[in-house]
Structure 1
């Protein structure tokens, strides 16, 4: 008899005796339901919505009544429908909880007691439904001057100002072979998102998806190529990262600009350029605040998330839609600025705040700079004349 046969037979016997029962246990374990907690996702959501309002803010980033209004809006026209095991309320909760905590699929599956496949499916459904509301909630500003522009220090100089524009970097996670175009000047990965806002702290345009290496001016030019318009005779306020043109008024270079700089100087404007920059910064401060509120309310925008690149871009747009929805429903705007973010700050990605200077990289803007400089000088000198006159009257 072949001795190897004996060794083989003995091994097979040992396999049958010791290994097969273990495999059977594993097979039984794989069939056993994993998410069996009595605290189901539906119960958890119900507890939060019927509990202290701060719970809804903490987990879903908005007040309870606004959450319910959002659910109702998404229910309209069957944008979302109740699933067999997952109601629209829970679908929306899954999505908002992910934006609040940058929660992984496993974390969401455990928290809501559903399979990872179910979580992924409903996250995508809600993301699509909210981005489809873009044209409903993100719309151009009214052409009527905003009441803030009637204040003495702004009138009549900024009466044709629609709002402000800025580029904001939102962190992005990419495969290694796709990273370089998205590497910004801080050498981290981001997308450069152009946003425009009005003086009521609402977004009026969002242009997302450009690489972090792209200049603010290039993203603006692409937005103009894809339907973003400036009505005749009107203009937006922009920072030094853009060319100064009749449609996009930038501050004077080499002159104090940011409100912190003005405050540190502890002196009145000394010339028309300093006065223009001060008034410009006071109005443009709205967009800096709205971006800060957006990223505090939805912390996922400050970290490298776990989703595909397409979904990461859509999340930035959906967050802006939600911001406007909350604003239109009188949500608390001071709360995000004063709350603690429940994400380890070591996960936050250090991204640029915008371009410090215009890169002269957009020919269409370069041709308009002389006309823009003339318009800015005219406004600034008229403003200075009024300022000097009123100061002399008050002396």
Structure 2
């Protein structure tokens, strides 16, 4: 009786004006609709499709082409749309939608291993943004920024407590490293939201030491106050105002510590803006569905891979363009994962030499800042 109810008396599919494939091809032919539905230009779509087919195992089946599968995947994670909505729009069974989503996810996840990494592992080139007189030469050896972000997730009731962080909802603490082109060069997902950044960071270095883009001698990343100031990782002064809105809404920076923190924050916001573009494009990251936890982690890393793929394509993208035109533009508020207070046991002692290095930079920053403001 149950079998007959489920499989013999299926409701007939609602026929729309266009089949799923026809809708995809029509959407691809319209530049605005293509970006709105698939979060990228038509040229990028075709290039991504060809790369996934040729190198990462994406293929067509008898009833569904790889083009339609990729478009459906991008539509689901970009809008976002549920599998039921995809079932209705593409006129496919829920089993087919789920299977094809999984197939494309696996392909893009494999792509992430090749695109989430530094362009130059030796960091030999000074980024053009650092050549600005405000930052040069004191930040010439900076190679990027490190931070964490929270991505809301759905977890089993038995795991809710460990996933609820200080923000009051279940999340994953995602650690990321990015360069000044807003590309992610390293990422780790899967940690519960209650875990401190430093624990995630230390585990990433120990577990993925061969893949982590360690700073060469003399180079450094920018980190926030949730990390210790130590060789290779330059943190701001604690107990001094730091975030850009504090400077934008109040008096201009005074003293070497405030000036240093202001310039440090102006550069380090590249990772906050990267997170903003990531979540603005792939809106499924604002509220992941109740997939298994490992699948939710794969979606996060796959979204980062798509983020990098779009950024590397040497074609304009309206979401990135707004950030390129205004260095202080924030695409959307991000949920920082850092928890500096109450975690001194995790931070450890700061390095004396690195503190002296920071003081030397701060003095130079103050001198340049005073001169440029006078002029």
Q: TM-score range by the shorter chain?
A: 0.7 to 0.9
Contact map agreement 2:147 2:338 (CA 8 A) in 1: no
Instruction: Provide the C-alpha distance between the structure 1 equivalents of 2:52 and 2:160, rounded to a whole number of angstroms.
Output: 35
Instruction: Provide the C-alpha distance between the structure 2 equivalents of 1:24 and 1:117, rounded to a whole number of angstroms.
Output: 18
Report what 1:109 is aligned to: 87
Query: 1:105: how far off?
Result: 2.1
Is 1:274 aligned to residue 258 of structure 2? yes
Report what 1:174 is aligned to: 155
Report what 1:223 is aligned to: 204
Quickly say closer, same or farther: Cα 1:270–1:78, change in 2 above 3 A. Answer: closer
- What are the superposed Cα offsets for residues 35-65 of structure 1, whole Å, 9 maximum, x if unpaired? 6556321111111112x21211121111111
Query: 1:277: how far off?
Result: 0.6
Contact map agreement 1:166 1:239 (CA 8 A) in 2: yes
- What are the superposed Cα offsets for residues 317-343 of structure 1, whole Å, 9 maximum, x if unpaired? 0011001111112241437979xxxxx
Query: 1:173: how far off?
Result: 0.5
Instruction: Provide the C-alpha distance between the structure 2 equivalents of 1:305 and 1:146, rounded to a whole number of angstroms.
Output: 38
Is 1:134 aligned to residue 112 of structure 2? yes
After TM superposition, the score normalised by the length of structure 2 is 0.87
Instruction: Provide the C-alpha distance between the structure 1 equivalents of 2:6 and 2:128, rounded to a whole number of angstroms.
Output: 69
Query: 1:89: how far off?
Result: 0.7
Alignment match of 1:46 (pick from 11, 17, 25): 25
- What are the superposed Cα offsets for residues 167-192 of structure 1, whole Å, 9 maximum, x if unpaired? 00001111111211110102200000
Is 1:29 aligned to residue 5 of structure 2? no
Contact map agreement 1:246 1:375 (CA 8 A) in 2: no
Report what 2:327 is aligned to: none
Report what 2:268 is aligned to: 284
Instruction: Find the residue that maps to 1:164 and give its secondary structure.
Output: strand
Alignment match of 2:60 (pick from 57, 82, 91): 82
Report what 1:298 is aligned to: 282
| Cα RMSD after superposing both structures | 2.5
Instruction: Find the residue that maps to 1:209 and give its secondary structure.
Output: strand
Query: 1:91: how far off?
Result: 0.7
Instruction: Provide the C-alpha distance between the structure 2 equivalents of 1:173 and 1:58, rounded to a whole number of angstroms.
Output: 26
Instruction: Provide the C-alpha distance between the structure 2 equivalents of 1:254 and 1:26, rounded to a whole number of angstroms.
Output: 63
Is 1:382 aligned to residue 367 of structure 2? no
Report what 2:328 is aligned to: none
Instruction: Provide the C-alpha distance between the structure 2 equivalents of 1:178 and 1:262, rounded to a whole number of angstroms.
Output: 40
Is 1:60 aligned to residue 43 of structure 2? no
The correspondence of residues 152-191 of structure 1 with structure 2, limited to 5 A, is 152-191=133-172
Instruction: Provide the C-alpha distance between the structure 2 equivalents of 1:151 and 1:351, rounded to a whole number of angstroms.
Output: 26
Contact map agreement 1:57 1:63 (CA 8 A) in 2: yes
Instruction: Find the residue that maps to 1:132 and give its secondary structure.
Output: helix
Instruction: Find the residue that maps to 1:133 and give its secondary structure.
Output: helix
The correspondence of residues 238-249 of structure 1 with structure 2, limited to 5 A, is 238-249=223-234
Uncovered stretches (5+) of structure 1, i.e. residues with no partner: 1-19, 339-349
Uncovered stretches (5+) of structure 2, i.e. residues with no partner: 324-332
Contact map agreement 2:155 2:290 (CA 8 A) in 1: no
Query: 1:370: how far off?
Result: 3.0
Number of equivalences? 356
Instruction: Find the residue that maps to 2:317 and give its secondary structure.
Output: coil
Report what 1:197 is aligned to: 178
Instruction: Provide the C-alpha distance between the structure 2 equivalents of 1:141 and 1:26, rounded to a whole number of angstroms.
Output: 52
Is 1:310 aligned to residue 294 of structure 2? yes
Quickly say closer, same or farther: Cα 1:157–1:141, change in 2 above 3 A. Answer: farther
- What are the superposed Cα offsets for residues 76-127 of structure 1, whole Å, 9 maximum, x if unpaired? 1362111111111111011111102332222211111111111111111111
Is 1:258 aligned to residue 236 of structure 2? no
Larger Rg belongs to: 1
Is 1:372 aligned to residue 354 of structure 2? yes
Report what 1:332 is aligned to: 317
Quickly say closer, same or farther: Cα 1:255–1:24, change in 2 above 3 A. Answer: closer
Instruction: Find the residue that maps to 2:249 and give its secondary structure.
Output: helix
Instruction: Provide the C-alpha distance between the structure 1 equivalents of 2:16 and 2:180, rounded to a whole number of angstroms.
Output: 47
Quickly say closer, same or farther: Cα 1:25–1:168, change in 2 above 3 A. Answer: closer
Instruction: Find the residue that maps to 2:242 and give its secondary structure.
Output: coil
Instruction: Find the residue that maps to 1:361 and give its secondary structure.
Output: helix
Instruction: Provide the C-alpha distance between the structure 2 equivalents of 1:352 and 1:390, rounded to a whole number of angstroms.
Output: 33
Query: 1:384: how far off?
Result: 2.4
